[in-house]
């Protein structure tokens, strides 16, 4: 704790610190005036760990990190504030851009919150819920692949990086097939989905499971048992269970400390209680354990995807029946590759003047959500992703705030790095897998 930022006094309860705030410029000045060899080093904000514009401020004594802090805010986009100026359905186009590696989780958390406020959780079609689970689990795989690929590259293993991004392309191909986009999908919407799975999706998913099951073996051969890989990650970025609990760390960081906490099991949503899968844990509390957990979680996600494919054989609706909520999204492929369904437009235009007016009001104004507030939490690849959604009864959110796991987990950076080597800082940050789009929002 910096002496510039706090004062201490002894009480009957023990020593109490009063924190008054501080600035790193003061820390730099104090270090410059000191007689020892301590140096303040700025690592970043030019992508120090390829996880975004993160600034790491390190006080070092030789090669040892004596104090470490994060500087964030370089990727602030004002997404949460922008949500207050768009209707409830349009909000999905904003939240999908927060953590850009986990767009479907952002959309799902937001939409589940809106649906709870509307009181329509039981009206969401089963097929829509299954497709949500399917998309989230494929997205979990793609997110973990980026974590492993970039983490391997930072260790000098460009082969792992090539393998990771090669396999991530398989996930993005599926996203493009289903939603038309590789990222920023806005596909999960309040009440269901934008549209149903296109023809050929289930066959593509089966082929994806086969290919990924075969490819994951390559990572084990290349990295899992590699003595150099293990030696570089073992006992680096150490954070035990007590530290995780004190800092609010979740996801692979928490499960690497041995606690099998996963909201899909402990607080099921989207019917996860009906799926057969395990929650991998490790006792190492270090970067290598987090790598092993991500590898195991990808295999479990493939199991869930297989179960989804089996259950999606029968067709069905993917949006609530209530036309006052169901956003019309009948699309067809035109000469330019996109477009609205002309048959659907003719049906709306030709039914009645009342239906046309209602369609116009729903699209331009949006539906109203009863006053109230909810907190909806789901298990993203990085940990607990929570959406605090507040409505004042209007057609727009009064307030939407996200508990992003990257933001919370990044608090553990100092505990992981202080006392270690400068070279280990990158490994520790990579094992947290923060994405600055979710941190800054």
pLDDT per position as a tens digit, 94-147: 999 988 889 999 999 999 999 999 988 888 899 999 999 999 999 999 999 998
Q: Does the bond joining 436 to the residue before it have cis omega, within 30 degrees of 0?
A: no
CA distances from 103 to 86, 87, 188, 256, 381 (A): 19, 19, 10, 24, 11
Q: How far is CA 279 from CA 216, 252, 424, in A?
A: 18, 10, 28
Question: Which residues are CB-contacts of 374 (< 8 A; sequence separation ≥ 6)?
Answer: 113, 116, 117, 388, 389
Q: Where are the beta strands (DSSP E) in 138-260?
A: 188-189, 192-193
pLDDT tens digit string along 297-350? Answer: 999 999 999 999 999 888 888 888 877 788 766 666 666 665 666 777 777 777
**Rounded mean pLDDT of 195-205?**
89
Closest CA to 229 of 287, 313, 303: 287
Q: Give the pTM.
A: 0.85
pLDDT at 169: 93
Q: What is the pLDDT of residue 1?
A: 42
Contact (Cβ atoms closer than 8 angstroms) between residue 160 and residue 224: no
C-alpha to C-alpha distance for 202 and 347, rounded to whole angstroms = 30
Quick one: tokens of 385?
Answer: 């992703």
CA distance 19 to 2: 10
Distance CA 32, CA 40 (A): 9
Instruction: Give CA angle at 179 (176, 184), nearest 5°.
Output: 85
What does each C-alpha distance from 8 to 11, 16, 26, 44, 59 come to in angstroms? 10, 6, 18, 33, 22
Q: What is the model's pLDDT at position 381?
A: 92
Cβ-Cβ contacts under 8 Å for 46 (sequence gap 6 or more)? 53
Residue 420 neighbours by CB under 8 Å, 6+ apart? 64, 65, 236, 428
**Bridge-partner residues for 9, per DSSP?**
16
Q: Which residue has the higher pLDDT, 197 or 8?
A: 197
Q: Of all residues in the chain, what percent carry a pLDDT higher than 70?
A: 89
**CA dist., res. 293 & res. 253, Å (int):** 9
**Sign, Cα dihedral of 128, 130, 133, 135:** negative
Q: Please, are residues 195 and 330 in contact by the beta-carbon 8 Å criterion?
A: yes
Q: How confident is the model at residue 221 (pLDDT cuts 50, 70, 90)?
A: confident
pLDDT at 132: 93
Across the range 375-383, mean pLDDT stands at 92
Q: What percentage of the chain has pLDDT greater than the value 90?
A: 29
Burial 267-287 (b: 16+ CB within 10 A, else e): eebbebeebebebbbbebbbb
Nearest-angstrom CA–CA distance, 43 and 55: 6
């Amino acid at each position: 704790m910096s002496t510039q930022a706090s004062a201490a006094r002894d009480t009957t309860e023990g020593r109490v610190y009063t924190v008054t705030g501080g600035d790193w410029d003061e820390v730099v000045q104090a270090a410059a005036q000191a007689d020892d060899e301590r140096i303040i080093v700025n690592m970043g904000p030019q992508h120090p760990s390829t996880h975004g514009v993160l600034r790491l401020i390190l006080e070092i004594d030789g090669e040892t990190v004596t104090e470490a802090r994060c500087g964030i805010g370089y990727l602030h986009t004002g997404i949460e504030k922008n949500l207050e100026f768009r209707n409830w359905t349009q909000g999905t186009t904003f939240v999908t851009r927060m953590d850009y590696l986990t767009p479907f989780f952002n959309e799902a958390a937001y939409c589940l919150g809106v649906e709870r406020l509307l009181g329509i959780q039981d009206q969401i079609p089963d097929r829509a819920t299954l497709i949500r689970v399917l998309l989230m689990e494929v997205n979990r795989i793609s997110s973990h692949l980026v974590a492993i690929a970039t983490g391997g590259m930072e260790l000098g293993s460009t082969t792992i990086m090539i393998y990771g991004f090669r396999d991530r392309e398989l996930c993005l191909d599926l996203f493009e097939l289903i939603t038309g986009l590789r990222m920023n999908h806005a596909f999960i919407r309040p009440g269901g989905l934008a549209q149903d799975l296109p023809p050929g999706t289930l066959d593509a998913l089966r082929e994806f499971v086969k290919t990924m099951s075969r490819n994951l073996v390559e990572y084990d051969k290349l990295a899992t048992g590699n003595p150099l890989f293990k030696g570089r990650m073992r006992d680096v970025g150490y954070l035990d269970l007590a530290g995780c609990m004190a800092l609010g760390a979740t996801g692979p960081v928490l499960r690497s400390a041995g606690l099998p906490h996963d909201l899909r099991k402990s607080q099921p949503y989207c019917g996860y209680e009906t799926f057969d899968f395990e929650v991998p844990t490790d006792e190492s509390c270090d970067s290598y354990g987090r790598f092993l957990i991500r590898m195991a979680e990808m295999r479990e996600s493939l199991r869930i995807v297989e179960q989804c494919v089996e259950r999606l054989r029968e067709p069905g609706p993917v949006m609530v029946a209530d036309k006052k909520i169901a956003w019309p999204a009948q699309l067809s492929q035109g000469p330019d590759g996109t477009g609205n369904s002309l048959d659907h437009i003719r049906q709306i235009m030709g039914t009645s003047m009342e239906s046309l007016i209602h369609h116009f009001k729903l699209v331009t104004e949006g539906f109203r959500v009863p006053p109230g507030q909810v907190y909806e939490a789901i298990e993203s690849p990085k940990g607990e992703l929570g959406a605090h959604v507040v409505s004042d009864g209007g057609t727009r959110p009064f307030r939407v705030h996200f508990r992003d796991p990257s933001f919370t987990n990044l608090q553990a950076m100092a505990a992981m790095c202080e006392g270690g080597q400068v070279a280990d800082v990158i490994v520790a940050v990579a094992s947290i897998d923060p994405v600055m789009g979710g941190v800054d929002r």
